[in-house]
Structure 1
Amino acid sequence: MTATDTMRAVRITEHGGPEVLQLADVPVPAPEPDEVLVRVAAAALNNTDLWTREGAYGRPDDPAARSGWRGPVGFPRIQGADVAGRVVAVGAAVDEDIIGRRVVVDPALYDGEGPDAHPVGLMGSERDGGYAQYVTAPRRRVHDQTESPLTDDQLATLPTAYGTALGMIERGRLQEGETALVTGASGGVGIALVQLARARGAHVVALSSTPKTDAVRDAGAHAVVDRARDLDGQLDAAAPRGIDVVLDVVAGDLLSTGLPWLREGGRWVVAGALGGYGVRFDVRRLYLHNAQLIGSAMHTPAHFGLLMELARRGAVRPVVAAAFPLAEAARAQEELARRRHVGKIVLHP
C-alpha cells in the first residue's frame, strides 16, 4: 500500500446521538515498527461504542462530564473495539510470517507489559478502532486464529464481550460446583458469561426477560429468572443454597437490594451499569458475611490469551444476532440500543 491509499471508515467528530457517526474516506493507517495492519473482516458492536459516542463515562472528579472510556476522546475517532480480519502488512520490526494470517485483535491498551496488566484504554475510544476497512494494532496484541472453527463474525464478537466476561469470572474466582448468577443475561456479555461459567462447571442462574428466556437457556443456563417478577422467591427456588458469585453488568437497584443473595464469602463482580451507577446498600451485609464487591474492567493479557485458546478449540460458540454493512453503522447502533436482540451485532466493512 502507498501513503495515498484511502479506506472507508465511520468516525465521530463530537459526542452525541447516532447522527454524529459519519462515513468518510480516510487514509489507510501505516503500521508503526512494532505494529501490523489488519484488513477488517468483521467488527462487533458493544455498549462501549454507544457510551463512547455519547461521552457517557464521566470522570472521577466530574461524573457528569462527557468522556470516553478512560478520558477525553481525541476527535475525529474511528469507533469499534472488536476486530477479526487478516494481516496484510507489518511494521519494520515485525516478522512477516504473520502476513496472511486470520487474527483477532486484543483491543485493550494496558498500563504495563506483564500478564496481569490493567486495561487503561480501549481501541475505538483511546485509539482508532475497527469501524473501517483497515486498522493497525501492536503485534503483541494480535492473536492468530487461522485454525479456529469459528467464523469471522463469531471471532469478532469475542474481544470485549467474552474478554469482559472471562475477566469477571477470573476476578470473581468462580470455581467448579459453585452457583453463579448472571445479570443482563441476554446481552453480549451476558451470553458470554453464561457460556463461560457453564464451561467452568458452575451451576448457572441467569437473570433475563421472558421473551429471551429460551435463548438464554439454550446458551447454557441451568435456570432463568424473570427480572419482572419476584426475584427473591425465584432465586430461593433456583439457588436454595444461595449465590457464590454474582456476575453483574446491571448494578443500580439490583446491587442495592441484592447483596443478601450472596452466601457467606460470596463475591459480587460488577462490570457494567445498565441499571444505573448510583448505588446504595447496607454495608453490614458486606462485612458481616465476608462478602466481596469487585470491580472488573475488561480483561488482562493473561485472560485474553486464555480466551484465544478457547476460540482456537471452538470451546465457545458466540451468538451473532445480526450483521450490517459499515455504511449502516448508525442503524446498527440504534438496534443495539433497543436491546431487543440476543447475542451480538456485527459490521461488515
Structure 2
Amino acid sequence: MEQRRLGHEGPLVSAIGLGCMSIGIADVYTSSVQDDEKAVELIHRALDLGINFLDTANIYGDSELKVGKALRGCRNEVVLATKFGIVMGSDLHNRGVDGSPESVHRNCDESLKRLGVDHIDLYYLHRVDPQVPIEETVGAMAELVKAGKVRHLGLSEAAPNTVRRAYKVHPIAALQNEYSLFTRDPEEELLPVLRELGIALVAYSPLGRGFLGARFRSVDDLAPGDWRRGNPRFQGEQFARNLAIVDRLQEIAEEKHCTAAQLALAWLLHRNPDVIPIPGTSSIGRLEENIGAVQISFNDEDFNRIEAVLPKGAVGGERYAPEMMKILNG
C-alpha cells in the first residue's frame, strides 16, 4: 500500500483510508452496519489490506465503540482520527455546532473513553463554530496535544482564511473536506492554501455518496430512511442528470478494466499526491474493490477523457440541503 503523510510532521498513512460512519449510524445509509462482529471484521480486513488510517467521529452513532473494539490488541498499527464539534443529538438536517473550549475538552475525554485508547492520533474540529473565534477553539485543542491526549490537529469544512488563522495558533496536519469528481470545490481556493502551509487534504465522500460507484439506477434503490433521499443531488432531474454522467464514466472504467468506483478513486490519487480519500463502506467486497484503485495507472489521456465527461460544475444539485450548507466553509 502506498503511503502519504499527514502534514509536514504528521504520520504516514495509507493512501486510502477507511471512513467509519457507515458502521455506526442506522438509517443514514442503506447498507449501514449495526452488528458489532461485522464491523470488527470489516476493520480487520481493512488492516489486512494495508489500510492503517481509520476515520470516525463522536456523532457517528456507536462507531467509536466499534472502532475501539476492533483495535484491541492492534492499536499501534493504526493512525486513528475522530472528530468533535457537531452537537450530539442535534437534528440530522439542521446540525448544531459547539467549538467552545469546554466542548473541546469534554468531547475529547468522552471519545477517548468510547474508543478505549489513551490518545487520538488526529483530532478534528468537525465544523467551525461561527460563535467562537477559531483561535479559541484551536487553542483549546492545542492544550490536548500538550496533555498527551491528542497527537495532531485537524479541521473539517473550514474556509481558507480560517485555516490560516488556525495554523497560526497550532500546526494543522490535515483538513477534511468533501472532494471527488462530483465535488471539486477544494481545487479553487482551499488546496492552494493547504499546499502553501503543508497541510494534507483528507477527502470524505470521494465516491459522491455512492453515486460514483454506479450503484443506483433510481432513488427507490435507497432504503426508505436513507439520508440521501433528501439530498439535492438525488432529486428528480438532478438524479437523472448525474446518473447519465456516471454512465459515461462507467464506459471509461470498462475500457480500463476497472470499476467506476476504482476509476473515481484513482482519479483523486493520481491528480493529488497530497490527498487521502477515505471512502466509507459496510461491505468487505466494496472495501476490497476500493483498495484496487491504487493499482490503476493513469495518463494525460485518461484525465482529458474524464474532464470531457465531467468538467467542474457539471454535477446537478448542491451537496447538502440548505440548512447543512450553512455550516460549510466556516
Instruction: Give the alignment's TM-score, normalised by structure 1.
Output: 0.28
What is the TM-score with the length of structure 2 in the denominator? 0.29
Q: Counting helix residues as a fraction of each chain, which structure ranks higher? A: 2
Larger Rg, first or second structure (1 or 2) = 1
